[in-house]
Chain A
Amino acid sequence: MNPTLHSILAFVETWWVELLCAVLIVLVVPLIAGYIVLVERKVMADMQARLGPMRVGPHGLLQPIADALKLLIKEDLIPHNADQFIFWLAPVLSMTAALTSMGAVAFGPWFQVARDINIGLLFVVGVSALGPFGIVLGGWASNNHYSIIGALRSTAQLISYETTAGFALVSGFLLAGTLNVRAIVETQRTDHAWYVFLAPVGFFTYLIASIAETNRAPFDLPEAESELVAGYMTEYSGFRWSLYFLAEYANMIVVASVGTTLFLGGWLRPFSSVHWLGWLDAAPTLLLAAVGAYCVFRAGKQPSRVQSLFMWAVAFACFVVAAIFALASPFSHLPLEKMHDGLYGAFWFLLKDSAYIYIFMWLRFTLPRFRFDQLMRLGWHILIPLALINVVDVGVALALSSEFGLNRWLAMVVTTAATLGAATLLLRWNDKYSAAASASLLADSSVVEDPHAG
């Protein structure tokens, strides 16, 4: 046999799981992003007492596909005065960074492309931090005032909130004692606690910083439509625009996965080491069966025959997946140990990821957008000091528990209380400061513009 072909075959044979995962990520993430958009529209509609998309497919289930088709056949415009090369490069850069960083995320004990890399979560965070280059360069290349203001805002925002996110992650890394994704999840199993309970302040600061990093409301100043048309993507249309859009949603999945892995126990079942709660393993099967039953219930009420057939198909798919979960469950006593770990791990991970992303949506439809000086004050005066204090306090708690044998939970409760006390002082001082600052602003009418506003 041809030696080159032989070595390629050997390579595929050794790494087929990883290759399959990589191909799945590239193929499935755009689809998932589309469906996150549908869920977002449905959640928004629900919060605003509407129905949301209902026409394309039953309950709007085919809406993402229709949207994608529309975007694909739209005219692809490049403005005449734009910098052609960078205009082309920018959305590609955003998408590449988002997809590459997913390579090190463990979506379950078996579903991970880059296994056992020592820097683990740091790789995810670092590579996803390349994505904003796409925003900045795209805004600059468009040769448009709205775009460049959006790009400048995005840069300033990224620099401010990346620091907070980094310190919040450090408090989690200190608890885990490793950067390796698998080892982080395994230490949460052996510690019998998700780190959100040991370092609640760290999780809270990471949550806020991750919303700001993905440019989501209430931090969506780079694309604030009431001020900047569409910010950095004003000049983009068609497929390039959809690349930006996909990158935004892929980034949401990435930051949610980092938060889930480090603070919410990754792919572990809730109370994974408590035996009498083993019945929680039935949850995936029951949940999917319930969704299937709901689809059957709704199928008869669809306006047309095609739609009710589609509903039956969805119900059937749900029942099939539920049956697979049931077969792989520990109650069935079949020799499917590995399959059980992979399936159930992926289920819990995706469930936690979805909950995290749901918080993003909830905040988006609840809170009004920040003003830029408020954004900067929140980042630099409150979140960064809070994250720093939290890192110090977690370090002290770890030292107390390891050097003096203090109960770990007690140490954590004490230091969290200390952090919160410090945060209260910080807020009061900040209120005083900002009151004084706005008074001087009012007195000095020559200062009109905020220096960060671009």
Chain B
Amino acid sequence: MLDSVIFYFFAGIAVISAALMITRRNAIHSAVFLITTLLATAGIFLQLRAEFLFISQIILYVGGIMVLFIFVIMLVRLDVPLPQIRSRTRKWIALLVALAVGVEAGVVIFLARKAPGQGLLIPDPAPADKLPPNTEELANSLFRTYLLPFEVASVLLLVAMVGAVVMAKKRTDAP
């Protein structure tokens, strides 16, 4: 009972502020609503007893990436509307993509409710007070079970980062 109240509370905030984020004209307002969406998603993680995901969402996305977003937005002229917003064909493409995603989500939901045991698999949830410590579980799977994929992914990110630095440096060095 309490769990579902908390879930619908955070989910409602997330959906409403996501919609507001898209519809705002002012980029900083959009950023504020994006922060709200991310915080509400973090709240859903907490409701699912994934406290480590909750805090990494806050530290990485809200505390790190969003700060950078706002940093960039503040340096950009906001009062010049982008030509893409005006374009007609782009609106049709956007509608098409939105419809496709909507149909996909609807099919998944429909398949999931067909019958118990069929469709999407939802494993038995463990009782809330019997869950193993989240951080340790995550560390075990990242650094023991899936060590190689994890390291490959981090090397990939490092390469991307070095690449970005190299490209940016070339542009500023040019006379």
On whether the two chains bind one another, the answer is yes
What is the CA–CA distance of A158 and B68 in the complex, to the nearest angstrom?
10
Q: Please classify how large the interface on chain B is, using the bins under 10, 10 to 19, 20 to 34, 35 or more.
A: 20 to 34
Residues in A whose Cβ lies below 8 Å from that of B64: 159, 162
CB nearest to B54 among chain A residues: A119
A311 at the interface (CB under 8 A from B): no
Residues in B whose Cβ lies below 8 Å from that of A156: 71
Interface window among B27-35, B99-107, B118-126, B145-153 = B27-35
Asked if B28 and A89 make an inter-chain contact with CB atoms under 8 angstroms apart, the answer reads no
A26 at the interface (CB under 8 A from B): no
What is the CA–CA distance of A244 and B159 in the complex, to the nearest angstrom?
40
Asked if A89 and B32 make an inter-chain contact with CB atoms under 8 angstroms apart, the answer reads yes
Residues in A whose Cβ lies below 8 Å from that of B28: 83, 86, 137, 140-141
Enumerate B33-91 residues with CB–CB distance to A below 8 Å: 35, 51-52, 54-55, 58-59, 62-64, 66-68, 70-71, 74-75
CB nearest to A122 among chain B residues: B55
Enumerate A116-160 residues with CB–CB distance to B below 8 Å: 117-119, 122-123, 125-127, 129-130, 132-133, 136-137, 140-141, 148, 151-152, 155-156, 158-159
Residues in A whose Cβ lies below 8 Å from that of B35: 133
Of A130, A148, A158, which contacts B74 at CB under 8 A? A148
Of A122, A136, A140, A155, which contacts B59 at CB under 8 A? A122
Asked if B67 and A158 make an inter-chain contact with CB atoms under 8 angstroms apart, the answer reads yes
What is the CA–CA distance of A155 and B75 in the complex, to the nearest angstrom?
12
What is the CA–CA distance of A83 and B74 in the complex, to the nearest angstrom?
14
A179 at the interface (CB under 8 A from B): yes
Asked if B32 and A86 make an inter-chain contact with CB atoms under 8 angstroms apart, the answer reads yes
B140 at the interface (CB under 8 A from A): no
B135 at the interface (CB under 8 A from A): yes
Residues in A whose Cβ lies below 8 Å from that of B141: none
Of A85, A119, A137, which contacts B51 at CB under 8 A? A119
Given contacts A118-B133, A130-B63, A155-B67, contact A140 B74 (CB under 8 A): yes
Among A137, A141, A148, the most chain B Cβ lie within 10 Å of the Cβ of: A137
Among A86, A119, A151, A162, the most chain B Cβ lie within 10 Å of the Cβ of: A119
Query: Shortest distance in angstroms between B75's beta carbon and chain A's nearest beta carbon?
Result: 8
What is the CA–CA distance of A140 and B66 in the complex, to the nearest angstrom?
15
Residues in A whose Cβ lies below 8 Å from that of B62: 129-130
Residues in A whose Cβ lies below 8 Å from that of B55: 119, 122-123, 126
Of B51, B58, B133, which contacts A130 at CB under 8 A? B58
Asked if A86 and B29 make an inter-chain contact with CB atoms under 8 angstroms apart, the answer reads yes
Query: Shortest distance in angstroms between A8's beta carbon and chain B's nearest beta carbon?
Result: 13
Asked if B59 and A125 make an inter-chain contact with CB atoms under 8 angstroms apart, the answer reads yes
Residues in B whose Cβ lies below 8 Å from that of A126: 55, 58-59, 63
B154 at the interface (CB under 8 A from A): no
Asked if B67 and A119 make an inter-chain contact with CB atoms under 8 angstroms apart, the answer reads no
Number of interface residues of A (CB under 8 A): 29
Residues in A whose Cβ lies below 8 Å from that of B59: 122, 125-126, 129
Of B32, B68, B75, B134, which contacts A137 at CB under 8 A? B32
What is the CA–CA distance of A159 and B32 in the complex, to the nearest angstrom?
18
What is the CA–CA distance of A129 and B55 in the complex, to the nearest angstrom?
11
Residues in A whose Cβ lies below 8 Å from that of B29: 85-86
What is the CA–CA distance of A141 and B55 in the complex, to the nearest angstrom?
28
A contact patch SS: helix
CB nearest to A131 among chain B residues: B63
What is the CA–CA distance of A156 and B71 in the complex, to the nearest angstrom?
8
Asked if A179 and B135 make an inter-chain contact with CB atoms under 8 angstroms apart, the answer reads yes
Query: Shortest distance in angstroms between B95's beta carbon and chain A's nearest beta carbon?
Result: 31
Query: Shortest distance in angstroms between B104's beta carbon and chain A's nearest beta carbon?
Result: 34
Given contacts A126-B63, A127-B58, contact A159 B68 (CB under 8 A): yes
Residues in B whose Cβ lies below 8 Å from that of A140: 28, 70, 74
What is the CA–CA distance of A118 and B138 in the complex, to the nearest angstrom?
13
Query: Shortest distance in angstroms between A97's beta carbon and chain B's nearest beta carbon?
Result: 10
Residues in A whose Cβ lies below 8 Å from that of B54: 119
Query: Shortest distance in angstroms between A423's beta carbon and chain B's nearest beta carbon?
Result: 24
Enumerate A3-37 residues with CB–CB distance to B below 8 Å: none
Residues in A whose Cβ lies below 8 Å from that of B52: 118-119, 122
Given contacts A86-B29, A140-B28, contact A162 B135 (CB under 8 A): no
Query: Shortest distance in angstroms between B20's beta carbon and chain A's nearest beta carbon?
Result: 12
Given contacts A86-B28, A130-B62, contact A159 B135 (CB under 8 A): no
Query: Shortest distance in angstroms between B169's beta carbon and chain A's nearest beta carbon?
Result: 12
CB nearest to B31 among chain A residues: A137
Query: Shortest distance in angstroms between B27's beta carbon and chain A's nearest beta carbon?
Result: 10
Residues in B whose Cβ lies below 8 Å from that of A158: 67
What is the CA–CA distance of A148 and B28 in the complex, to the nearest angstrom?
13
Residues in A whose Cβ lies below 8 Å from that of B63: 126, 129-130, 162
What is the CA–CA distance of A83 and B27 in the complex, to the nearest angstrom?
12
Given contacts A126-B55, A151-B74, contact A118 B134 (CB under 8 A): yes
Asked if A119 and B70 make an inter-chain contact with CB atoms under 8 angstroms apart, the answer reads no
Residues in A whose Cβ lies below 8 Å from that of B67: 132-133, 136, 155, 158-159
Query: Shortest distance in angstroms between B40's beta carbon and chain A's nearest beta carbon?
Result: 14
CB nearest to B26 among chain A residues: A83
Among B32, B35, B75, the most chain A Cβ lie within 10 Å of the Cβ of: B32
18 new A-B contacts at CB < 8 Å, known A89-B32, A159-B71: A86-B28, A86-B29, A118-B135, A119-B51, A119-B135, A122-B52, A126-B63, A129-B59, A129-B63, A133-B67, A136-B67, A136-B71, A136-B74, A137-B32, A137-B70, A152-B71, A156-B71, A162-B63
B residues contacting A by CB (< 8 A) are 26, 28-29, 32, 35, 51-52, 54-55, 58-59, 62-64, 66-68, 70-71, 74-75, 133-135
A to B CB contacts below 8 Å, 5 in the list:
A129-B58, A136-B70, A140-B70, A140-B74, A162-B64
